[in-house]
Structure 1
Amino acid sequence: MEKEIIEEIYRVVDEYFTEPELNKLIKVFVEEKNVERSTWSSITRSVHGMLGGDSPAIHRAAALTEVVMLALDMIDDLQDQDNWSKPWMSCPQAYTLNGILGFLITFMGELSTFNTGDSSQPALPAKEISRLLARAVHGQQLDINGSIQTEQDYILMVQQKSGSLIQLACYMGYALIEHLDQEQIDRLNELSYCIGIIAQIGNDVNDLQRYDVKNDLLQKKRTLPILFLLEDSPKEFPILTEYYEGRVSKEDFLLKKLDCLAYVKASGCLEYSQIIQALYKERAEKLLETIPDSLWKDQFVAVTIG
């Protein structure tokens, strides 16, 4: 995050939370996200710039993007019960919940300052932002409730879970620009979904090859590469199917961890996932061709599809 984004986040944290311990803890969470080199605010700012925006309020909007995304990241870690190195997972859970509430309260409170009815003040419609957040929550529910059975289910879930968040980060930038045509907005929304799918597949491929508890197999998730694995596992690696069906315990499955990782590498699931990822990247690049070249566009590409 850029220095002015961090300073803006700290400003609103100081305004809303004067209890010293909670104020300090929330800033620890922010700094952890900064160490990760979070790019959410860069997406908001670069979209604003590449579409011709020049609002002096864009850095405030970008800071709010980081605030709400950090709250959602923390919720995701609590639901998955992993990422134990993060300060919001190592502190008392009650403190983490207060931190999440703090970020959400700050986000909604500051969002209202954009919607004063003053024609000289750019607006960020709360209803549209809430709709995008609700879609992301819907996608998260699909991810954790075991309803994903097919590749189509997976793509729909990712469009809602990851794509809606990319769309939100973009919206926080382009909503501050007047007179954008609907066709341009529709292309940017489709681009957001493509970027979300590209990023999620990349994360899922990486998580499947991990040796620790964050490996998605241990959580019995059904990501794109895992759906591919499960098709052949009854014949090729039956203990995986048995584990997913609850006929083998996690402890017994862990005894076959190295064999399972070897099966993952030999199965072709990683290559298949990368092919699907490449198809969405090709579509994203075609959509980007409709946007004039600029340094802002270069920055947007760098922080999204690389």
Structure 2
Amino acid sequence: MDGCTGKIEQEMRAGLRAFFTVPYLLDQGMACLEEKLREALLFGRLTVLHYRAFGGTGAGIYRAAAAVEFMILSLDIIDDLQDKDNQETVWGRLSPDIALNIALGMLTLSQHLLLTADFPHERSGSAARLMNEQVLAAINGQTVDLLNNIESEEEYMEMIRLKSAGLLAAACLTGTLLATGEPLSEVRTYAEELGIAAQMKNDIRDVLNWDNKNDFWNRKKTLPTLYLLQSISDEQRWIADYFAERLQLADVVNRKEEIERIMEESGTLLYSSVRMRTHYYNYLDLVGKISLAPEWKEQILAMAD
């Protein structure tokens, strides 16, 4: 896996230079990409790791991993445009029409890179279908997220299976499919468990982060806020009134310390943390059972750190 990230970055930069031919589009697209490259490229690295772990050889996987990362970046940009809650990014500072055009270009480029990578046509076609199916599932999950009308933990779980957990599974399955010709169900199962745990961890963070992305201020229905709404006493009904928009932000913005106290006393944070860790331990257990050499299992488990 040495040099994996650098090779994925090279493929992504080369893809933009080849197909974003309008200078302004290329400049802004490259700026969005460079912001993405400050992250660890987890999805692309998972694609490469699973390809190698299941016996895949050759350099074509780096192009496929770049395709996966472009899929993720394009959906991140679109999500931020819809949520209007991440204005500090490069794309958040662009006009929405230009940012959307960049996202659509990257999503299309994702498919092109995958279909032109050095694999048998049948395998690259199957991987492209898998990614298309996951993008469509993520669009369904994002619609549920935008409507923000879920009322139960079961509905929340289905949303993140469609969206964040499914996207992480798609990265792992793309590598597995390109190596073996099959999207192994056991890989999907453990990857979804990791994706669920990661999303729950983000939701715990976002309910405690009191900037403009805070899920309480934004009335977002997540595992912590759903549990909180089910746990409040009669004296705390103002929280339900706020989520039902019977109160406005100005009515509650000075009650941050009280909200934190209520979350602590109700067990909201403890419950959410336990649920998150349960899915993480499921991931560890499922990876332990898969038929792979110990060194590959260790590398897959290390991706969760």
| TM-score normalized by the length of structure 2 | 0.92
| Partner residue of 2:175 out of 173, 176, 182 | 173
In structure 1, the partner of 2:194 is 195
Count matched residues.
301
* Counterparts of residues 113-132 of structure 1 (less than 5 Å): 113-114=116-117, 123-132=125-134
AA in 2 matched with 1:4? K
Structure 1 position 24 matched with structure 2 position 27: yes
AA in 1 matched with 2:102? G
* Counterparts of residues 113-262 of structure 1 (less than 5 Å): 113-114=116-117, 123-178=125-180, 180=182, 185-262=184-261
**Cα shift readout 1:115-159 (whole Å, capped 9, x = no counterpart):** 99757x855443222111111111111112123111111111111
* 1:264 to 1:26, Cα distance in 2 relative to 1, 3 A: same
Looking at structure 2, the residues matched to 188 and 206 of structure 1 have their Cα atoms a distance apart, in angstroms, of 27
For the residue of structure 1 that corresponds to 2:179, the secondary structure is coil
In structure 2, the partner of 1:274 is 273
Q: CA deviation at 1:19?
A: 1.2
Structure 1 position 87 matched with structure 2 position 90: yes
AA in 1 matched with 2:43? W
Looking at structure 2, the residues matched to 299 and 116 of structure 1 have their Cα atoms a distance apart, in angstroms, of 24
For the residue of structure 2 that corresponds to 1:299, the secondary structure is helix
| Partner residue of 1:48 out of 44, 51, 55 | 51
Looking at structure 2, the residues matched to 277 and 295 of structure 1 have their Cα atoms a distance apart, in angstroms, of 26
Contact 2:49 2:300 (8 Å CA) reproduced: yes
* 1:229 to 1:165, Cα distance in 2 relative to 1, 3 A: same
Contact 2:161 2:192 (8 Å CA) reproduced: yes
Looking at structure 2, the residues matched to 159 and 42 of structure 1 have their Cα atoms a distance apart, in angstroms, of 21
Moved more, 224-233 or 278-287: 278-287
Contact 1:44 1:62 (8 Å CA) reproduced: yes
| Partner residue of 2:107 out of 104, 107, 126 | 104
Q: CA deviation at 1:186?
A: 1.1
* Greater RCO structure (CA 8 Å; 6+ sep): 1
**Cα shift readout 1:161-213 (whole Å, capped 9, x = no counterpart):** 11210111112211211355x7xx11111112111110010000010101111
**Cα shift readout 1:75-121 (whole Å, capped 9, x = no counterpart):** 111111112110100121122112112201211222332499757x8
Identity %: 29
AA in 1 matched with 2:152? T
For the residue of structure 2 that corresponds to 1:213, the secondary structure is coil
Contact 1:114 1:124 (8 Å CA) reproduced: no
Looking at structure 1, the residues matched to 283 and 240 of structure 2 have their Cα atoms a distance apart, in angstroms, of 35
Contact 1:205 1:225 (8 Å CA) reproduced: yes
Q: CA deviation at 1:72?
A: 0.6
In structure 1, the partner of 2:301 is 301
Gaps of 5+ in 2: none
Contact 2:127 2:174 (8 Å CA) reproduced: no
**Cα shift readout 1:11-48 (whole Å, capped 9, x = no counterpart):** 11111011111101111111111113231111111111
Contact 2:165 2:199 (8 Å CA) reproduced: no
Contact 1:111 1:124 (8 Å CA) reproduced: no
* 1:33 to 1:117, Cα distance in 2 relative to 1, 3 A: closer
Moved more, 284-293 or 23-32: 284-293
Gaps of 5+ in 1: none
- Ranges of 4+ aligned residues in structure 1 off by more than 6 Å: none
Looking at structure 1, the residues matched to 219 and 301 of structure 2 have their Cα atoms a distance apart, in angstroms, of 33
In structure 1, the partner of 2:74 is 71
